[in-house]
Structure 1
Amino acid sequence: MRLLLVEDDTLLAQGLIISLKKEGYAVEHAPTLQNATQWVRNSQFDLVILDLGLPDGDGIEVLKKLNKKQHETAVLILTARDSLEDKIAGLDLGADDYLAKPFEPKELFARLRVIGRRFTNQANSKLSCKNVELDLASHQVLVANDVIILPRKEYMLLKALMENQGRVLSKSQLENKLYDWGEELGSNAIEVHIHHLRKKMPDGFIKTLRGIGYVVDKAN
């Protein structure tokens, strides 16, 4: 897999490049925001390891550039910024995982393997239930063959529910699916997103089991 490492710490970057190559990745290195932007503009990568605190700007700009290109690139943010707000900002803009420094290399490589497997398995896959279809490659949602535009959080909730058709997911399980870590969020965040998502789905598509969770029934 082709990987772009965006990291301004020279010693850390050198160590990671050696280790990543041993893991089988083809690695390019960008020490600045300008370098990273040039790489993203002119090339395509399977994975990006992204530091946010770059000497000439905020690494979040790289995520924005990737979003504009609209191609499938997995992004793992690797940064000293570990606040909940920074995590939410990164994930909302399309990052797939978030690992705070300092970190254990074994954990980084394990997370990269998980992300890589997920993207490989999902490249041409679709989820469908009744007259709702979710294309995991294009992130497109169709209801009765009509394209429905969903915000990222609603899309991730729908994906989690459709991946577990017939299985009830609790609020805490959906929080973990949505944000990809176990931080406590607003007490009614899931309820609000489900409320908005339900309006865009067919009647009765998402069922609420009070005090237990939410479920999408398997297609008959």
Structure 2
Amino acid sequence: MPRTHLILLEDEIVLRQELAEFLTDIGYRVDTADSLAQFHQIHDPALHRIAILDLSLPDGDGLDLMRQLRAQDQQVGIVILTARGGLQDKITGMDGGADHYLAKTADLDELAVTLVALRRRLGEAEPKERWVLELGPRQLRPPGANPIPLSHQDLTVLRILMQAPGTLISRKDIVLMLGADFMDYDQRRMDTQICRLRRKAQRACGLTLPVNTARNLGYRFYAEAEIRL
């Protein structure tokens, strides 16, 4: 099933990069803009089903952009993600046409759940793609693709994540399950492990490994999962 294509408007470069990485990790195709002008340059109503908009921008207000999109009767889902998190700001945003209004202090998981609800409203079915971890052959079988051989470490990490799909597994729990001492463990090893697994899946089958990162907290396997002996 094709991945939902969205456009992200955010002028803070670090936050824009972090959000784009997170959204890509959880299965979206993402285009980014840092200003109203750039948004208008790259926005394609036929392509972008969802728009995530900041409000305070270097060349104007995202509320004006949202009103323009609604005035043009564009069938796009709109999520406001802004530092303007007061009640009156939210009322103004929702009244102006936002489907959802989130403060930038919101957890990324809340953004992910919000997007799922919005896609459902837009009539996009959630894919039920089952990833299967085969312990005996030591391989990962993506939906509709050939199995991917795994190292012992790959297998162990995926087993920890896939035995509780949808649940955030803390870094500490993963390290302890690996039989290591959390206080002595180099956290960069875990990040490298996950990055390597993502690259391996992408190269082998062209699919995004459904593991997202809660920064400094842990990891979650967010797709349908099965573990076989």
TM-score between the two structures when normalised by the length of structure 2: 0.50
Unaligned runs of 5+ in 2: 126-229
Code of the aligned partner of 1:81 = R
The aligned counterpart of 1:72 is 75
Code of the aligned partner of 1:99 = L
Q: 1:63 to 1:76 in 2, by over 3 A?
A: same
Structure with larger Rg: 2
The aligned counterpart of 2:53 is 50
Q: In the TM superposition, what is the alpha-carbon distance from 1:43 to its structure 2 partner?
A: 5.5
- 1-side partners of 2:23 and 2:84: how far apart? 23
- 2-side partners of 1:88 and 1:59: how far apart? 15
The aligned counterpart of 2:91 is 88
Aligned residues, how many?
Answer: 122
The aligned counterpart of 2:42 is 39
CA contact (8 A) 2:70 2:97 kept: yes
CA contact (8 A) 2:11 2:33 kept: yes
The aligned counterpart of 1:28 is 31
Q: 1:108 to 1:89 in 2, by over 3 A?
A: same
Residues 1:99 and 2:102 are matched in the alignment:
yes
Q: In the TM superposition, what is the alpha-carbon distance from 1:42 to its structure 2 partner?
A: 6.7
Q: 1:42 to 1:108 in 2, by over 3 A?
A: closer
CA contact (8 A) 1:4 1:27 kept: yes
- 2-side partners of 1:76 and 1:56: how far apart? 20
Q: In the TM superposition, what is the alpha-carbon distance from 1:91 to its structure 2 partner?
A: 1.0
What's the RMSD between the two structures over aligned residues? 1.9
Q: In the TM superposition, what is the alpha-carbon distance from 1:12 to its structure 2 partner?
A: 0.8
Q: 1:121 to 1:26 in 2, by over 3 A?
A: closer
CA contact (8 A) 2:20 2:30 kept: yes
Q: Select 1:113's aligned residue among 113, 116, 128.
A: 116
CA contact (8 A) 1:52 1:60 kept: yes
CA offsets 1:89-133 (integer angstroms, 9 cap, x no match):
2111210001112121111111111111111169xxxxxxxxxxx
CA contact (8 A) 2:36 2:57 kept: yes
- Of all paired residues, the percent bearing the same amino acid is 39
CA contact (8 A) 2:82 2:102 kept: yes
The aligned counterpart of 1:189 is none
CA offsets 1:131-161 (integer angstroms, 9 cap, x no match):
xxxxxxxxxxxxxxxxxxxxxxxxxxxxxxx
- 1-side partners of 2:101 and 2:74: how far apart? 20
Code of the aligned partner of 1:21 = T
Unaligned runs of 5+ in 1: 123-220
Q: In the TM superposition, what is the alpha-carbon distance from 1:71 to its structure 2 partner?
A: 2.1
Between 1 and 2, higher relative CO (CA 8 Å, sep ≥ 6) is seen in 2
Q: 1:48 to 1:85 in 2, by over 3 A?
A: same
CA contact (8 A) 2:45 2:74 kept: no
Code of the aligned partner of 2:114 = R
Secondary structure at the aligned position of 2:91 is classed as helix
| Deviant stretches of 4+, over 6 Å | none
Code of the aligned partner of 1:116 = R
- 2-side partners of 1:6 and 1:41: how far apart? 13
Q: 1:121 to 1:4 in 2, by over 3 A?
A: closer
Q: Select 1:13's aligned residue among 10, 13, 16.
A: 16
TM-score between the two structures when normalised by the length of structure 1: 0.52
Secondary structure at the aligned position of 1:29 is classed as strand
